[in-house]
Structure 1
Amino acid sequence: MRILVILFTIVFLTSCDQNKKMVATDLTPFQKKMNDDFKDASKSPLKSKDLKTFKGLDFFPYDSTLLVKAELKRTPNTEWFQMKTTTDRLSKERVFGVVTFEIKGESFQLNVYQGEELMQQEGFENYLFLPFMDNTNGSLSYGGGRYIDLDIPEGNTMEIDFNSAYNPYCAYNERFSCPIVPSANYLDLEIKAGVKAFVKE
């Protein structure tokens, strides 16, 4: 009888450990949507040979400390400029404002951009573009930096979730033309959140 109790206890503990692992690997809505889009041949930036073996993107574990509240200082008089891309194409952008926020007690700021062509498209009237680089680039994350999508807030505060940082499409396929992250948008720390570097199977 004692042996049965011990065996039951071992099975129960093993089952609990497996359940913990399943919970730990649960995808956030952002991560699930990213994977669904990448698996969809009509949306995916992957090359056909990579799409055949694609099982899912590699994400950093969700980090609630990297969901930050930022102060937005709008810069309404900034001039439009031609942002360089990974191809010969130039993207007409302007600095919409500067966001200031804290990570681990240290203050940082980044420029948020607005694209002239994109803001004229339906559904993107309030879209803001936040490209950034950090100290994970080239090792844990894509060497060219990552992007975050934002919306113009009603007031002067906004949430920035670095867990939703994603790679530009040119990280998966060089035929895409991707804006190059301006040097002003470098963060001197490791942002271990969002999508990791893409490793081909």
Structure 2
Amino acid sequence: MKSSRIILILISLVIVVAVGYMFTAAESPEAYVEKIEKERERQFKFIRFNVESPLTESQKQNLQTLTFYPINPAYKVKARLIPIEAKKVRELSMTDGSKERYIEHSYAEFELNGQTNKLLLLQSVKETDMRNFFLAFADETSGNQTYGGGRYINARQDGKTSITIDFNLAYNPYCAYNPDYACPLPPKENLLTIPIEAGEKNYGK
């Protein structure tokens, strides 16, 4: 057998194995729901019991559950990373009127609810892992079903030119529970004109 034919066969085998692994390693719908539920349970336990929780002791005693939208895989989106060539520091306004510094890193562009959306990805000036991003956003549910000051997502780059944004993991900032805390407000680029009916709802509603 010619060496070129052997190489072609080996390449074909590698492709078959890779595709097979991709399908077998893919997360099942049941596993995905279980993962989100576990994260929500972890979040509740932190807010209810942790000494660093923003809740007062009285609030902790009265808290029975956190309120979330039903888990919807459609709100887990794969976004295209659009780098910002001339990165600069952005001072985000805080709920108490102060400022906090972040680096404007890139934009995440994705399709959702029948339209193209784009969000600004920020990094804390203290961030050491360059694949981690801070995403603060508001949408058409803000101030009604969800906290008026917006919600947060901790996003991590998982591709060379892409990032997964899972709105089912959107959570409230500390100031949603306790106004004594100061929290960054979403930048103007992240004020979505669509409702994001996923993730955590407003505290107390």
Tell me the TM-score normalized by structure 1: 0.79
Provide structure 2 residue ranges, at least 5 long, that are not aligned to the other structure.
Answer: 1-32
Structure 1 letter corresponding to 2:50: A
Q: Deviations over 1:6-49 (max 9, x none)?
A: xxxxxxxxxxxxxxxxxx9x971221111111122313211221
Residue 99, structure 1, aligned to residue 104, structure 2: no
What is the CA–CA distance in structure 2 between the aligned matches of 1:125 and 1:74, rounded to whole Å? 13
Distance apart, 1:77 and its partner CA? 2.0
Structure 1 letter corresponding to 2:181: F
Q: Identify the residue that residue 127 of structure 1 maps to in structure 2.
A: 132
What is the CA–CA distance in structure 2 between the aligned matches of 1:154 and 1:141, rounded to whole Å? 30
What is the CA–CA distance in structure 2 between the aligned matches of 1:64 and 1:164, rounded to whole Å? 11
Residue 150, structure 1, aligned to residue 155, structure 2: yes
Pairing of 1:5-154 with structure 2 (within 5 A): 28-117=37-126, 119-120=127-128, 126-154=131-159
Distance apart, 1:153 and its partner CA? 3.6
Structure 1 counterpart SS, 2:67: coil
What is the CA–CA distance in structure 2 between the aligned matches of 1:80 and 1:147, rounded to whole Å? 19
Distance apart, 1:109 and its partner CA? 0.5
Deviates more, 1:157-166 or 1:69-78: 69-78
Q: CA-atom RMSD, angstroms?
A: 2.0
What is the CA–CA distance in structure 2 between the aligned matches of 1:152 and 1:63, rounded to whole Å? 21
Pairing of 1:162-173 with structure 2 (within 5 A): 162-173=167-178
Tell me the TM-score normalized by structure 2: 0.78
Return structure 1 stretches of 4+ with deviation > 4 angstroms: none
Provide structure 1 residue ranges, at least 5 long, that are not aligned to the other structure.
Answer: 1-23
Structure 2 counterpart SS, 1:167: coil
Deviates more, 1:158-167 or 1:191-200: 191-200
Distance apart, 1:182 and its partner CA? 1.2
Q: Deviations over 1:143-186 (max 9, x none)?
A: 11111001234511111100000111001112211001112101
Q: Identify the residue that residue 193 of structure 1 maps to in structure 2.
A: 198
Q: Identify the residue that residue 6 of structure 2 maps to in structure 1.
A: none
| Matched-pair identity in % | 30
Structure 2 counterpart SS, 1:28: helix
Kindly tell me the number of residue pairs found equivalent between the two proteins. 172
What is the CA–CA distance in structure 1 between the aligned matches of 2:90 and 2:195, rounded to whole Å? 29
Cα 1:130–1:174 shift into 2, 3 Å: same
Cα 1:182–1:139 shift into 2, 3 Å: same
Conserved in 2, the CA contact under 8 Å of 1:63 and 1:163?
A: yes
